[in-house]
Amino acid sequence: MASGNFNQYTLREGLNQTIQFTGNGTALTRLNTYNNVGNPSNNYAVNFNFKHTFDSTGRELTIDVDYARFIDNSGTNLRSQFLRGDFSPMKADSLLSNNAKSFIDQYSFKLDYVIPSFLKSKWGTGLKSSYVKTDNDLRFQGKNEGEPAFTFLTGQSNQFIYTEQIHAAYLNTERAIGKFSYQIGLRGEWTLADGVSQAYTAGSKDSTFHRDYAQLFPSAFFQYDVSKNHSLGFNYSRRIDRPSYGDLNPFVFFLDNYTYRVGNPLLTPQLTNSIELSHTYMGAFSTTLGYSHTTNVITEILKQDTQARKSFQTSANMAERTNYSLGFSLPIPIAKWWSSNTDIYFNRAELVGKVENANLSPSNNQFYFNSNHIFTLPKNYRFEIGGNYFSGGLESAFIFGAGGSLNVGIQKTVLNKRGVIRLNAQDILYTSNPNVFIKYGDLDITVRPRQDSRVIRINFSYRFGNMSIKGARERATGLEAEKSRVKSK
């Protein structure tokens, strides 16, 4: 199996404006930053998969061998215009240019072996090894308006090379005994990681790190069918979430002279223990009560250089995060031609940690409601309407306000049911951009994002070939976890 993607993204004549005021509200300085951004990227992946069934009982062996490469070649040109409060020039315009090349190579080998009946249970075991290398080179050039040529900025330029090996093995078993069934598993992982940051400044010391650790991840699921219409479930798991490769890069990406983002090569994975109790009625209507506790939480935070009046965004490991949740899923068939699904969710999130010398302990309660309705109409038409509402919540260390969206769509099946024409409109009322509030230490920030979320789309899709092999085309490969850690800039 082979896949690939090519993307050409360009933003022209973007403008970011910053105004600094005195205590009495008089404009002190004005900064206009004009930016042109280019972010061409492409990736390709190949997968070899093998499956052998040994006998009629279903005993089988599957093997996946994968390779993927991601290439990103982004560049930004910034022109900064410095003005006094009365719009008079302070100094010559500053020009800053950067080019960031990123290459990510991923390899994996995965083997799974299933024994359908052994000691009256079904057993599965397997192993996986992956190797990832990222090579990232960021180069800055700058000059003032009127100067003849750009100067290579060694202090801001950097090359970062990161390699990571993860070797894992697992064993799980499942069985049904009358009204009771269970599934129990254990996975072990051994991780080796190395990072080297090579600055271009003459005489500067390169920063390196090495990590070598092993961990166990148990999981268990139990279900008891109380009666024909009622079943109870208990689920426990321990999981690991690793930082994205981009977040590990110690690079600086500027929005303007006062605002930028910087990576953190010292990020470590976060670990989560979660418990969930569930009740299911008639195999469809479900109620879940959940609890999770995460340590070394990977959190987006803001830091501020108060003296220089600069703020920057980065990722850091906080102490811990606790979540309590209660959810209801209600798939209700109202009529033969009208089906609906409604989700209701209550959540409380609590985060505890420290940013430099400031203790951080935000918490928030959230109510979430989502309802979608599908109407099957004559002549292969289908109409959909749905929406959601959230009361606010906690995302990383940021509190966000209430919001929601209303969406509608219509589709028609054509060409012997192989083609589909869809027309849909999202966020019709333009209400899905909640305000974000950041307040800790000497930070007190309100962000009012206004993304272009109100969108109308029309698309046409056509299914080629034999649909009986659809599952083979959409099969998961051995690199799913690694691919999910590649974030676009």
Chain segment 327-373, per-residue pLDDT in tens: 999 998 899 999 999 999 999 999 998 887 778 888 999 999 999 99
Quote the pLDDT of residue 200: 67
Quote the pLDDT of residue 45: 95
* Below-50 pLDDT ranges, the chain: none
Q: Which two tokens stand for residue 217?
A: 């991840």
Quote the pLDDT of residue 458: 96
Quote the pLDDT of residue 49: 93
Q: Classify 483 as helix, strand or coil.
A: helix
Overall size of the chain counted in residues: 489
Q: What backbone phi and psi angles, to 5 degrees, belong to 257?
A: -70, -15
pTM for this predicted structure: 0.86
Query: Are the C-beta atoms of residues 403 and 435 closer than 8 Å to each other?
Result: no
Pairing of strands 363-377, 27-38: unpaired
Of 450, 333, 453, which is closest to residue 388 (Cα–Cα)? 453
Helices (H), 224-380: 245-248
Between CA 272 and CA 267 the distance in angstroms is: 16
Reported as type and span, the H/E element at residue 370 is strand 363-377
Positive or negative: CA dihedral 196, 197, 200, 201: negative
Query: Are the C-beta atoms of residues 137 and 159 closer than 8 Å to each other?
Result: yes
Quote the pLDDT of residue 62: 95
Quote the pLDDT of residue 252: 81
